[in-house]
Amino acid sequence: MAIRIVAALGVLALLPAFYVLLHSGGGDVRKLTQSLVLGALFGVVLQRSRFCFFCHWRDFIESRDPRGFAAILLALGVGTLGYVVLFGAWLPDPASGRLPPDAHIGPAGPVLAFASLVFGVGMAISGSCVSGHLYRLGEGSPTAPFALLGVIVGFAVGFTTWNWLYVTSIATTPVTWLPAELGYRGWLLVQLVVLAGTAALIAAFACLPDRASQPAESRSVLQRALHRIFVERWPATAGGAAVGVIATVAYFQVQPLGVTSALGSYGRWLADSAQLLPETLHGLDGFSGCRTAAATFLTPNFAFVVALVIASFASAITANQFKPAWPTGNQVLRGLTGGVLLGWGSMTALGCTVGTLFSGTIAGALSGWIFFAASLLGVFATLRLMRAQAQS
Amino acid sequence: MHTPSLLKALVIIASAAIAPTAFAEPAKEPLVNYEWLQKNLDNPNVRIVEVSVDPGVYERGHIPGAVNFRWHTDLVDKVSRDIASRDSFEKLIQSAGIDKDTTVVLYGDNNNWFAAWGAWVFHVHGLGDKVKLLDGGRKIWELKQLPLDTKEASVTATSFKLPAGKPGLRARLSDVLSVAEKKADVHLLDIRSADEFSGKIFAPEGSKELSVRAGHVPGAVNVPWGKAVNAEDGTFKSPAELKKVYADVGIDGSKPIITYCRIGERSSHSWYLLSQILGYDVKNYDGSWTEYGNSVGVPVANAAGTVWLGK
């Protein structure tokens, strides 16, 4: 255990080193620092509570274990309450025709639905969503590096199809913000009722696994507490609530939570280097969402993502969950193909399960709900297909 | 029972001391400094207005009590390229609670560029005597770590009517062309970077190329806006220093001046200081290089000789 703690501290020492590197870039130091702290917290929460949209959905679809799915709904509920407080202060009249600043509210139409479906398929094939792969990178996952590489490639492909999709459909798709239609109270009521209704629905189908019998405790209270924090998996609900709180603080201080804009910037750079990037990406920079930057890598989102990986790595070490493994051919293939679908889907949908589904839904965006439904459908259908194939 | 009544008396004296009479008179100068503004945050006759270009900056922390004017939608016409019409500007002013006795203090991000542009719009619509800039803008307020608020300010709308406007503060393409063709004796001041002025580049990094010719208006002199400020805190240099900066390129106030840049907002910063601090006769050309450089048949000076290749 002592070795693991020393190793984890050694990994955490990368954070101050990274902080120094960020300061050398000349960006907005305050925002970079806040992103670094929030990314580290997010990484620990994801790793300790195994918060992952795909795994939670899969647990429910395959084993009817509802705990993770409930954690997602709880995160959405807590985030919604946090956001509505900020909205109330920042934009007292939701019907003014303005949108809250930088909130991930995107065009809600067929392109988004299709891209979210593709993203769902990519999740099922690669075994995780983008944020899940990021924290698994810190656990030594053999699939995650290939999936993330695939995401970057998928982003590059997304840039090449964007203009056509934009002109054909996205440009005339409405950007629907539910509070503008329903008022804050109406939206809050509908949103919380839908979340509670979904929770009730999954509870009706749920099948809770038996609690593993606890071994006789011979340790002190402190030892048990430390064990629960650093070694055992956190309760999914604690993870969900923490994600909701981090999302609110991130929106308040820097920008809504999202994990793809830094990866997307690599995709943009890659497409540009390969001379595949169109001269202009119509309308893209006019939308709020996981934007990509062409010029600089030292963005707040980059700080957020790197801190996430470092912190989840340290957290995985203390929990003895850092289990690097050589990838098999199948893992490489599934990582890459799933990753490309994740990348294309999140580029076209202006974000992933974190940026569009989560940060969008808690901001009252119809686009968030569409991503939720379509990606869940993609996961469900792909899991069913894969199972049927395995059985045949 | 002596103590409570003594306390009461003290409270009365104290509140009299901080009653409106205690607010400093609005400075007669075109600028207010952060110390003055700090003392006047609760002054009912002062309305603070933030004009920042980056969305979300105001919401995540603004000077307490400030209202937000959005450069891209509130201060311009959203369809044709123009400043906000008289009607829509009047509505904006009313909704911000600005009345006949109000002193308006503008500030914003990016070295007050957009706040200065806002001040120019106030002047064009006849409110020049009401408006001042916070010297140093957001930059100095943040640098001094002064308090910020995140709540939208609540203000009571007024029914204030705009006085007669001053359209003469706005230079048009024809005015600039007259200077280029030496038909008018006016100083032209181009405040863009030296590389934009010389024609090496079409637009600064991070901005889209919006004109199909590089260079500048013949006869213009180049003083990038940054030469007018103290880099460390964004405040304007002293009037004496400013006088020298412009006198060095021949601009001494003896002739009328027209300022321009790429889209007319950075040049408002120079317009403000030349007209309000130095008292020169200045117009701002808001069409700027994106209008002039795209106009057919006008003379252009392009020292670098960069040719537009359609990309």
Instruction: Find the CB nearest B152 among A92, A255, A279.
Output: A92
Domain boundary among B150, B167, B184: B167
Residues B38 and B155 grouped into a single domain: yes
**pLDDT beyond 50 at B243:** yes
**A219 within domain boundaries:** no
Cα-based distances in Å from B148 to A85, B38, B59: 18, 11, 10
Let me know whether B56 and B145 are in one domain. yes
Reported residue count of chain B is: 311
Q: How far is CA B237 from CA A28, A121, B27, B220, B274, in A?
A: 25, 60, 18, 23, 12
Domains in chain A, number: 1
Q: Do B174 and B158 have their domain in common?
A: no
Structure tokens at B57: 């900056």
- What distance in Å separates the CA atoms of residue B98 and residue B107, rounded to the nearest whole number? 16
The answer to whether residues B66 and B149 belong to one domain is: yes
CB contact under 8 A, B206 and A295: yes
Minimum distance, in Å, between the CA of residue B128 and any CA atom of chain A:
29
Among A28, A93, A102, A255, the strongest candidate for a mutation testing the B interface, having the largest count of B CBs within 10 A, is: A102
- For the residues B294-310, what does the mean pLDDT come to? 92
pLDDT tens-digit readout, B174-223: 999 999 999 999 999 999 999 999 999 988 877 777 899 999 999 999 99
Whether this model's ipTM surpasses 0.90 comes out as no
Q: How confident is the model at residue A79 (pLDDT cuts 50, 70, 90)?
A: very high
Mean pLDDT of chain A: 88
A104-118, A173-187, B23-37, B83-97: least confident range: B23-37
Structure tokens at A57: 């959905």
Backbone angles phi, psi at B133, to 5 degrees: -110, 145
CA angle A34, B51, A253 (to 5 degrees): 15
Confidence of residue B2 (pLDDT cuts 50, 70, 90): very low
Q: Decide which of B149 and A281 is more confident.
A: B149
Instruction: Name the token pair of B276.
Output: 């309000």
A333 exposed, middle or buried (CB, 10 Å; 0-12, 13-18, 19+)? middle
Percent of chain B scored above 90 by pLDDT? 77
What's the whole-number mean pLDDT along residues A91-102?
89
Determine whether the interchain pair A101/B151 forms a contact, defined as Cβ–Cβ distance below 8 Å: no
pLDDT of A8-56, one tens digit each?
Answer: 888 888 888 888 877 776 667 888 889 999 999 999 999 999 888 999 9
> What is the DSSP secondary structure assignment for residue A233, as one 8-state letter?
P
B307 domain-assigned? no
The residue segments making up the domain with residue B65 are 27-167
CA nearest to B208 within chain A: A280
**Beta-carbon pairs below 8 A across chains A and B:** 27
CB-CB under 8 Å, B206 with A101? no
Last residue of a domain, one of B132, B167, B202: B167
Asked if residue A382 lies in contact with residue A124, where contact means CB atoms within 8 angstroms, the answer is yes
**Cβ(B188)–Cβ(B221) under 8 Å?**
yes
In this structure, the answer to whether residues B31 and B66 fall within a common structural domain is yes
Domain contains A211: no
Report the CATH number at residue B263.
3.40.250.10
Residues 39-98 of A with CB under 8 A from B: 86, 89-92, 98
The yes-or-no answer on residue B261 being catalytic is yes
Q: Residue A50's closest CA among A62, A36, A68? A: A68
Alpha carbon distances (Å) from A322 to A36, A264, B276: 22, 27, 65
The closest CB to that of A91, out of B60, B73, B152, belongs to: B152
Do B206 and B111 lie in a common domain?
no
- Is residue A100 within 8 Å of residue A90, measured between CB atoms? yes
Nearest CA in chain B to A250: B60
- Same structural domain for residues B85 and B216? no
Closest residue in chain B to residue A91, using alpha carbons only: B152
pLDDT-derived band at B308, boundaries 50, 70, 90: confident
In-domain check, residue A213: no
Are residues B35 and B150 both part of a single domain?
A: yes
Angle A43-A291-A252 from CA coordinates, rounded to 5°? 55
Structural domains of chain B, count: 2
Given an 8 Å threshold on Cβ–Cβ distance, is B311 in contact with A279? yes
Q: Which of B133, B167, B201 is the last residue of a domain?
A: B167
- B105 plus B53 within the same structural domain: yes
- Please list, in sequence order, all residues whose beta carbon lies within 8 angstroms of the beta carbon of residue A191, skipping any fewer than 6 positions away: A80, A178, A361, A364
pLDDT-derived band at A213 (thresholds 50, 70, 90) equals low
* SS3 letters across A193-215: HHHHHHHHHHHHHCCCCCCCCCC
User: Are the Cβ atoms of A89 and B205 closer than 8 angstroms?
Assistant: no
Q: Which string of b and e fits A190-205 if b means at least 16 CB within 10 Å?
A: ebeeebeebbeebeee
Question: Residue B18: pLDDT band by 50, 70, 90 thresholds?
Answer: very low
Characterize the bridge pairing of strands B131-134 and B46-50. unpaired
Say yes or no for a CB contact (<8 Å) between B150 and A89.
Answer: yes
Yes or no: say if A165 and A345 are a contact pair by the CB < 8 Å rule: no
Q: Tell me if B9 is assigned to some domain.
A: no
Starting at the edge strand that comes first in sequence, how are the strands of the sheet with B46-50 ordered? B31-32, B131-134, B103-107, B46-50, B67-68
Q: Could you tell me if B82 and B174 lie in one domain?
A: no
Name which of A210-224, A292-306, A311-325, B88-102 the model is least confident about: A210-224
**Rounded percentage of chain B residues whose pLDDT exceeds 70:** 91
Select the residue of A92, A102, A252 nearest B55 (Cβ to Cβ): A102
In 3D space, the residue among A313, A327, A364 whose CA is nearest the CA of residue A15 turns out to be: A313
pLDDT at A346 over 90: yes
Q: Of the residues B96, B257, B261, B273, which is catalytic?
A: B261
Domain holding A284, by residue range, is 2-205+225-391
Nearest by CB to residue B55, choosing from A86, A92, A101, is A101
**One domain, residues B149 and B194:** no
User: Do the beta carbons of residue A375 and residue A367 sit within 8 Å?
Assistant: no
Residue B238 lies in a domain: yes
Q: What gap in Å lies between CA A258 and CA A158, rounded to an integer?
A: 18
Same domain, B222 and B149: no
Is A215 among the domain residues?
A: no
* pLDDT tens column, A173-212: 999 999 999 999 999 999 999 999 999 999 998 887 666 5
